[in-house]
Structure 1
Amino acid sequence: MAKDGVTVNSLLPGFHATERLRSLRGGDWEQVAQEIPAGRVGDPAEFGAFVAFLCSEQAGFVTGAAIPVDGGEYAGLL
């Protein structure tokens, strides 16, 4: 598909300040932020900006990637 200009990527979101997270965690962003190496909960607009970038011409050579957008929360194979 890349030959035809179609790229396929996967974004792996962490905790972002959404209504869903509020319903699951009671809106205590400070407690949730303690679990995230960046020290804060993500802004949904940050996630949206990353999505927009991947949909742009500037990201046309990015394909087959699984990209965490989680403030460093995913520790990998440690």
Structure 2
Amino acid sequence: AMSTAAGLDSAQAPVLMATLGKALGCAGAFVAGDELLIESLIQGARNYIYTTAMPPAVAAAGLAAVRLLATEAWR
């Protein structure tokens, strides 16, 4: 079950969205949720998904930033 800063579980907050800018020093954003939600977004927002995909280098930078945050929370 996904958790949020407010202590909600995935039933109470079925969509998790966040940006990767400013605090993580990257660009872009993400949406996370259960399989049905994500599949619905893929089918209903296909034009946006494939025209706004982030470059691989930015994705790698975002992953590195999230890993640093997980291991060095003081940042």
Q: Which of the five TM-score ranges fits, normalised by the shorter chain?
A: under 0.3
Per residue, is there more helix in 1 or in 2?
A: 2
TM-score (norm. length: structure 1)? 0.27
TM-score of the aligned structures, taking structure 2 as reference length = 0.28
Q: Which has the larger radius of gyration?
A: 1
